[in-house]
Amino acid sequence: MISPETSPPRSSSQSPRSPPAAPFLSISVTDPVKLGNGVQAYISYRVITRTNLPEFQGPEKIVIRRYSDFVWLHDRLAEKYKGIFIPPLPEKSAVEKFRFSTEFIEMRRQALDIFINRIASHPELKQSEDLRTFLQEDEETMERARSQETGIFKKPADLIQIFKDVQTKVSDVVLGKEKPVEETDPEYEKLKHYIFGLEDHLAETQKQAFRLVKRHRELGQSLSDFGKAMKLLGACEGNSLGKVFSELGAKSELLSIKLQKEAHNLLMNFEEPLKDYVRAVQSIKVTFADRANAFRQHCELAETTKLKEINLDKLNLMRSDKVREAEMEYRELKAESEQATRRFETIVRLMNEEIVRFQEQKTADMGLAFHQFAKGQAKLANDIADAWRSVLPKIEACSVSSPHG
């Protein structure tokens, strides 16, 4: 845990007698810029770190990072902090054409910002050295670190494939298809069942939310076309009736714009949080796999150690000269076994803490997303009512059956 700052902060704006500032670590991912050409083109982001923590190089640091740097950080954390639900990354876009659209870039930037800040606010993950490397090292050092990756996570493209493999492996391992050795904890079973079911339900709601965004855009487009047609029709009619058509057309076009805006709002503040939830659940499934592996290792090693112990006893009785060697092997194995057991128990402990945090965080996130969604819809509906209502006075101004040429 980070201890509160005891010496006065370097910032000169604070007088020496003011109380020590609370520790903070705040990061922004901003200013996406397209670099490179053709197939090699990519987006780079400005990552600004503001902190008063002593582990960092200063109160503010700005570095340039790209998506694969975020992937590197994610994978390092996943390797080192088994048992913790690593915050999920946004997907790499499959469709080439979409890769540089304004909307996609904005969605990704927002997701990366959320990702890095979640790490920064996680009690364990925020202490990671890899995080500090990511936030402070210059671009060359970063690139070297990335290419040094000896693990199987080399390129972002691989990640998708690996992830897919992991997904299937996770299902197999977690659902006990591959190995007969698995935990029998009923509570854990319930949790596993819950997480798998949750992913399906969430994916469905996210899919519908995405379609809803599209529908808003389509309605906006048709209102725009309708408005134009009404205006033209108004030009055919004369006088006051023509004015009504004209006004109706104008309002229709106005509403079209509002609908496009709401579609964007829906996408960023409702659909994305839902997608984020899905990703988070998928990340939990990875932790399940880690736990299952750790359990398997712990069991296997315990088993092997026991056999070695029996063998050692046998050798002792026989007063064989292999005893010393066997004893050394036994001691090594026993240490490994104890390590594996500790690893497994750590994962179990961490997971129990994580799941509570996760649920609470998710409830807050979704609650906010629901609130934004409802607010947007309510405002849109009111705007629509207002716009149409404003045309009614013009209709009253039209007398019924007045002769028109």
Partner 1 sequence: MMDPDTGFFASKSPAVRDEMESLDLSDATAPSSLPSFLEPPSYADVVLKSTFEPQNAVSTPGSGSYPPRAAASDYLRIVVSDPETVQEAANSLVPGGNTYVTYPITTWVRAAGHGGRSEFCVRRRFRDVVTLAARLAEAYRGYFIPQRPDKSVVDGQVMQKHEFAEQRRWELEKYLRRLAEHPVIGRSDELRVFLQAQGKLPLPAATDVASRMLDGAVRLPKQLFGDAAAGRVAPEDVVQPAKEGRDLLRIFKELKQAVANDWGGVKPLVVEEDREFLERKEKMQVLEQQLCTASQQAEALVKAQQDIGETMGEMGLAFIKLTKFETEEAIFSSQKTLSADAKCVATAAVKASRLYRELNAQTVKHLDTLHEYLGVILAVQIAFSDRTSALLTAQTLMTDLATLHAKVEKLEVASSKIFGGDRSGLRKVEELNEAIRVTEDAKSCALGEYERIKENNRNELERLNREKHDDFLSMLKGFLINQVEYSEKVAIAWAAVVEETCGYARESN
Provide the binding-site residues for partner 1, judged by CB under 8 A.
190-191, 193-194, 197-198, 201-202, 204-205, 207-209, 211-212, 215-216, 218-219, 221-223, 225-226, 228-230, 232-233, 235-237, 241, 244-245, 248, 355-356, 359-360, 362-364, 366-368, 370-371, 373-375, 377-378, 381-382, 384-385, 388-389, 391-392, 395, 398, 400-405
Residue closer to partner 1 by CB (options 1, 400) is 400
- Nearest approach in angstroms of CB 113 to partner 1 is 15
User: Coil, helix or strand for 7?
Assistant: coil
Q: How far is the CB of 203 from partner 1 (least distance, A)?
A: 9
Supply the minimum distance, in Å, between the C-beta of residue 346 and partner 1: 22
Q: What is the CA radius of gyration of the chain?
A: 30
Alpha helices in 176-270 (DSSP H): 186-236, 239-266
Residue among 310 and 364 whose Cβ is closer to partner 1: 364
**How many of the other CB atoms lie within 10 Å of CB of 18?**
10
Shortest distance in whole angstroms from residue 387 CB to partner 1:
9
Give the C-alpha separation, 351 to 367, whole Å: 23
Closest among 286, 284, 82 to 169, alpha carbons compared: 286
Contacts 24+ apart (CB under 8 A), 191-196: 191/355, 192/288, 195/281, 195/284, 195/285, 195/288, 196/285
Cβ atoms of residues 379 and 258 within 8 Å: no
To partner 1, the closest distance from the beta carbon of 381 in angstroms equals: 4
Spatial neighbors of 134 by CB under 8 A, at least 6 apart, are 47, 65, 69, 70, 72, 73, 142
Min dist CB 198 to partner 1, Å, is 7
Considering the complex, state which of residue 103 and residue 204 has its C-beta at the smaller distance from partner 1.
204
Contact of 104 with 98, CB cutoff 8 Å: yes
> Would you give the distance in Å from CA 94 to the centre of its chain?
17
Give the nearer residue to partner 1 in terms of CB position, either 46 or 258.
258
Query: Of the two residues 67 and 85, which places its CB atom closer to partner 1 in the complex?
Result: 85
Residues paired with residue 44 on neighbouring β-strands, in sequence order? 33, 66
Task: Give the three-class secondary structure for 133.
Answer: helix
Residues 71, 89: contact at Cβ < 8 Å? yes
Please count the other Cβ atoms lying within 10 Å of the Cβ belonging to residue 118: 18
Closer by beta carbon to partner 1, 177 or else 389: 389
- For residue 292, the minimal CB distance to partner 1 (Å) is 20
Least Å distance between CB 310 and partner 1? 41
Q: Minimal distance in Å, beta carbon 66 to partner 1?
A: 29
Q: Are the beta carbons of 355 and 84 closer than 8 angstroms?
A: no
Minimum gap (Å) between residue 354 Cβ and partner 1: 12
What is the maximal distance between C-alpha atoms in the chain? 124
> Between 160 and 257, whose beta carbon lies closer to partner 1?
257
- Evaluate whether 54 touches 79 at the Cβ level (below 8 Å): no
Identify which of residues 181 and 198 has a Cβ nearer to partner 1 in the complex.
198
Side chain identity at residue 335, one-letter code: A
| Token code pair at residue 99 | 């890769």
Give least dist CB 249 to partner 1, A.
Answer: 10
Nearest residue (CB) to partner 1, 98 versus 370:
370
Residues 6+ apart with CB under 8 A from 83: 287, 290, 291, 346, 347, 348, 349, 350, 351, 354
| Cβ-based nearer residue to partner 1, 2 or 356 | 356
**Which residue lies nearer to partner 1 by CB, 134 or 270?**
270
Which amino acid belongs to residue 303? E
Residue 64 has which token pair? 């340039």
